[in-house]
Structure 1
Amino acid sequence: MGRHYFGTDGIRGRANGKVLNAATAMKVGQAAGRHFLRGSHKHRVVIGKDTRLSGYMMETALVAGFTSVGMDVIMTGPLPTPAVALLTREMRADLGVMISASHNPYADNGIKLFGPDGFKLSDADEEAIEAAMLVEQELAQADAIGRARRIEDSRGRYIHAIKQSLPSDTRLDGLKIVVDCANGAAYTVAPTVVWELGAEVIAMGVSPDGLNINDGVGSTSLDAIRARVLEEGADIGIALDGDADRLIVIDEKGQVVDGDQIMALIGLRLAASGELRGGGVVATVMSNLGLERLLNDAGLNLVRTKVGDRYVLEAMRAGGYNVGGEQSGHMILLDHATTGDGCIAALQVLAALVHTGKRASELLHLFDPVPQLLKNVTYSGGDPLADAQVRSVIADAEARLSGRGRLVIRKSGTEPKIRVMAEGDDAGEVEQVVDEICAAVKAAA
């Protein structure tokens, strides 16, 4: 069946809009709760959220839904997405829920679901829950209605867990680090863990008011942290997004370090120590060709997936890989977490800084990115990519770039847009190829 609610990363939309509102959240709670009522034990769900104003409404509606079908609820308050995944598994919950729209502005929100193993739900589970949302669910008898409670030690549990991702003798003493939490879910835990490991911390984006999440701060708004790193003479800057599953780094010169460079660093270091599994790294089709060439030169492979961290994770689990991620900053390190975790990835980068004694600008620029250009073309209907002329132009572009570049053309999963990306050693040729394809798509749209 066609999906009305679930996308590539749970349910997301405008808070109080047609798709995402209190009624939807209650339906999710009832449908997901019934779906995971398996066995005779007392069932429980862990619910976390970021700092959006609408999180209060969504949390309350979800609690009502879950308790109405007989599930107990444990609320954590504001906490990173990977922390919710961790607590779901550690507390032997049947289900975990994160209320967040990640890097989107405050007016949006979303619902992400995790199974008892701490991994995001399978397509089959999401489809079953979506189907159940369309019908009335059986409610619990009065004596079996669930209870709800808020726990106070969730942040401490998560801080302890991510510190365990480093060797016990690794300290960050002597480093000055700017930590930008995007006024989001990690506004307490990220500065705390870095400070506890010995660093001098300059915290920013740590004053959430419900409306300022991702607003001029965080991994998608880097001007503020770049300026702060230079102003403070810091060794490095760490920028997280609203739910802290994404990481972008700023070196001491103010240069941006994206997910491709971070994956390169972590992958090569683990390979050198014999800890890299799968013989390479998993990334999406958007990762730069420079990363692929670097890994190939080191005898490692780069497995590419569709855009979306869930597809990266699926490929990692299927192929036995322990390092994967996206150019945008999602870092999945399966030795330490079941989903993308910006804080854990940041600690791996900081540990490398300490162990090598290098400056961030030396350590984190392991390859020169190949010129890459992405443009979007809006279309009103039909399938422009099926047009004969469009296919001919694309085939010609692929032949021109063969051996010297790549072409990635895909439909957006959320908007009526065709995304055209090309990369190659010749920036002028890349631009020409993208413009020619965009023109052909517009003519056919």
Structure 2
Amino acid sequence: MTRLFGTDGVRGLANEALTAPLAMKLGAAAATVLTRDRASGRRRPMALIGRDPRVSGEMLAAAMAAGMASKGVDVLRVGVIPTPGLAFLTDDYGADIGVMISASHNPMPDNGIKFFSAGGKKLPDDLEDEIESAMHELSETGPTGTAIGRVIEEAVDAQDRYLAHLKAAVSADLSGIKVVVDCANGAASDVAPKAYAAAGADVTAIFNTPNAFNINDGSGSTHMEQIQQAVVEHGADLGLAHDGDADRCLAVDAEGTIVDGDQIMAILATGMQERNALHDNTLVATVMSNLGLKLAMREHGIEIKETAVGDRYVLEELGRGDYSLGGEQSGHVVVPAHATTGDGTLTGLMLMARMAETGKTLRELAGVMTVLPQVLINVPVSNKGAIMEAEEVQTAIQQAEAELGDSGRVLLRPSGTEELFRVMVEAAEEEHARKVAGRLAAVVAAV
């Protein structure tokens, strides 16, 4: 049986794969599992539910609230908020459960459900599996009378609490820095411009008028051409691009050149090292990070701990070693001192703070690493599980690795959220990487 939870919660086409009845059952099951070991006290169990602006979020949040309330959990709905904001608020309000309704960077028709435990932490695989099992064992009845959970609509101070947290986390004066922020018509549309302006930056916001249907539509961190053009047009010092739920941040320098998550991590890691704030001189990154990041960190005496793709795995490794910084090439950057998950707005603030601290441009700071050409091809497949078991795929990988030698690498992996298989190749020359990746993608597509 296919596992309901992927690498980042439950995700699918809203009202087809991800329906209101499914959300209600998930809510009831999560309420049962995540509150069973709760110490008894005067206050009843409490859950927070936030969402991004996509139209199906209203329906799914209502269904989730109903499922949780049916099991005696009080629900506070915090409205449209970035995923990291929901994680922070789960801890700040002292809630037992946090729920974010979002499909992150996926197109508007999709949606997703992410759970956080007390303290705003993402769930490990075993807890997700328990929730999925509990869905099949739920009683159709529950508490009655005064034991039924209450649903409180729209916490009035949720955004203010999150903004105050961001201001306290990064206290640098960003006066004189001109930034364009692409909000992807998503959850950051209100919060990110306010946070950057509160720190003193001169802010121009684009794609910050969500209408329930335009989230991620030709904008945000998956459509960097928009922010590249806007930075040059406005004569800005940099641009910052978020995704639909604002747990990612990618940047653009004043010339319109993309500064990806690997480069952002390199900038922040070397800065933290200078301040003796990088625990064990270690950075946590995923297998997708560019080889150039590893080479640059080696030059600075910084060790890289490598994980599987997904910020949840980065978070697990950060916790195991009590490390200070980790993230992904895609722009998820985690700073455990200030966040329990990737926070795009926090990343943007820290990046600009580094510019202010050093007096350097983003282009100068990004020069800490040389990005090796990396080609990524997403191949649509019908059975992700069968790809790596295919003999022809293994043979093709071995041939590609022999051809690249020490000057490159090959990585094939399934998408955790879509029916895609990702083929990544790095090489000293981009054309060489494209040829090798194209050959591998053709083999994968034929399986």
Report the CA distance shift for 1:36/1:383 in structure 2 as closer, same or farther (over 3 A): closer
Other-structure match for 1:39 = 39
SS of corresponding position for 2:12: strand
Over 3 Å counting, the alpha-carbon distance change for 1:87 and 1:385 in structure 2 is closer
For residues 240-260 of structure 1, the C-alpha deviation after alignment (integer angstroms, 9 at most, x for no partner) is 111110001111111111101
CA distance in 2, matches of 1:338, 1:379: 33
C-alpha distance 113-351 of structure 1, shift in aligned 2 (>3 A): same
Partner of 2:250: 248
Residue pair 1:280, 1:295 contacting (<8 A) in 2 also: no
Is the Cα–Cα contact under 8 Å of residues 22 and 58 in structure 1 kept in the other structure? yes
Deviation at 1:237, TM superposition (A): 1.1
Question: Given the alignment, which residue of 231, 234, 246 partners 1:232?
Answer: 234
Letter in 1 for 2:165: A
SS of 2:210's equivalent?
A: coil
Q: Secondary structure at the match of 2:50?
A: strand
Q: Which residue of 1 aligns with 2:25?
A: 27
**Letter of the 2:423 counterpart:** V
Partner of 2:129: 127
Alignment-mate amino acid for residue 159 of structure 1: L
Which residue identity is paired with 2:64?
L
| Partner Cα separation in structure 2 for residue 49 and residue 416 of structure 1 | 24
Residue aligning to 2:99: 97
Whole-angstrom distance in 2 between the partners of 1:144 and 1:241: 39
Q: Encode CA deviations 1:60-98: one digit per residue, 9 max, x unaligned.
A: 111111111100011111111011111111211110001
Unpaired runs of 5+ residues, structure 2, are: none
Aligned to 1:59: 61
Q: Secondary structure at the match of 1:39?
A: coil
Q: Does 1:396 align with 2:399?
A: yes
1:279 is matched with which residue? Answer: 281
Whole-angstrom CA distance in 1 between matches of 2:9 and 2:353 = 33
In the other structure, the counterpart of 2:12 is: 13
Uncovered stretches (5+) of structure 1, i.e. residues with no partner: none
Counterparts of 2:51 and 2:358, CA distance in 1 = 37
1:380-427 CA distances to partner (integer Å, 9 max, x unpaired)?
A: 558343344443332233233332221112233455544322212244
Residue 278 of structure 2 aligns with an amino acid whose one-letter code is L
Whole-angstrom distance in 1 between the partners of 2:51 and 2:443: 44
Q: 1:158 aligns to what?
A: 162
Matched ranges for 1:263-342 at <5 A: 263-342=265-344
C-alpha contact (below 8 Å) 1:180/1:206 kept by paired residues: yes
Distance 1:418 1:424 in 2: 20
| CA distances 1:132-189 after superposition (whole Å, capped 9, x unpaired) | 112333511222011121310011000000111124xx21112221122111111111
Per-residue CA deviations over 1:184-237 (Å, capped at 9, x if unaligned) read: 111111111111122221111221110011112211112222222111111111
Q: Does 1:185 align with 2:187?
A: yes
Cα gap change, 1:158/1:376 in structure 2, threshold over 3 Å: closer, same or farther?
Answer: closer
- Aligned counterpart, 1:172: 174
**TM-score (ref. length: structure 2):** 0.94
Cα deviation code 1:7-30 (max 9, x no counterpart): 11001111111x311101111111
Cα distance change on mapping 1:347 and 1:379 into 2, 3 Å: closer
CA distance in structure 2 between the aligned counterparts of 1:442 and 1:15, rounded to whole angstroms: 27
Would you say the 8 A contact 1:257–1:365 is kept in 2?
A: no
Assess, with a 3 A threshold, how the Cα gap between structure 1 residues 387 and 56 changes in structure 2: closer, same or farther.
Answer: closer
How far apart are the structure 1 equivalents of 2:218 and 2:21? 31
Q: Which amino acid aligns with 1:174?
A: G
> Which residue in the other structure is 1:141 paired with?
144
The structural deviation recorded for 1:59 is 1.2
The AA in structure 1 aligned to 2:145 is: A
User: Is 2:427 the counterpart of 1:424?
Assistant: yes
| 1:288-335 per-position Cα deviation (integer Å, ceiling 9, x unaligned) | 100110001111122222211111111221222221111111111111
- Stretch moving more, 423-432 or 235-244: 423-432
Is the deviation greater in 113-122 or in 400-409?
Answer: 400-409
Q: 1:375 aligns with which of 350, 373, 377?
A: 377
Larger deviation: 234-243 or 398-407?
Answer: 398-407
Moved more, 182-191 or 286-295: 182-191
Of 30-39 and 427-436, the range deviating more from structure 2: 427-436
Rounded Cα–Cα distance in structure 2 between residues aligned with 1:189 and 1:338? 18
Whole-Å separation in 2 of the counterparts to 1:52 and 1:2 = 26
* Separation in 2, partners of 1:302, 1:390: 29
Partner Cα distance (1:343, 1:414) in 2: 23
Question: Which residue identity does 2:13 align to in structure 1?
Answer: R
Could you say what secondary structure the match of 1:304 adopts? strand
Q: Which amino acid aligns with 1:14?
A: L
1:344 maps to a residue whose letter is: L
Post-superposition offset of 1:285: 1.2
SS in 2 for 1:302: strand
Q: In the alignment, what sits opposite 1:223?
A: 225
Kindly indicate whether the alpha-carbon contact (under 8 Å) linking 1:291 and 1:367 is maintained by their aligned counterparts in 2.
yes
Does the 8 Å contact 2:375/2:434 carry over to 1?
Answer: yes
Aligned positions, number: 440
- Indicate the larger mover: 327-336 or 196-205: 196-205
Partner of 1:407: 410
Q: 1-side partners of 2:420 and 2:238: how far apart?
A: 37
Q: CA deviation at 1:379?
A: 4.9
Task: Judge conservation of contact 2:296–2:370 (CA < 8 Å) in 1.
Answer: no
Could you tell me whether the CA contact under 8 Å between 1:80 and 1:186 is conserved in 2? Answer: yes
Instruction: Indicate conservation of the 8 Å contact 2:167/2:198, yes or no.
Output: no
Secondary structure of the corresponding residue to residue 219 of structure 1: helix
Secondary structure in structure 1 of the residue aligned to 2:211: coil
- Cα distance change, pair 441–203 in 1 and its aligned pair in 2 (3 A): closer
Identity %: 46
Q: Name the amino acid aligned to 1:234.
A: A
Contact 1:176–1:235 (Cα < 8 Å) also in 2: yes
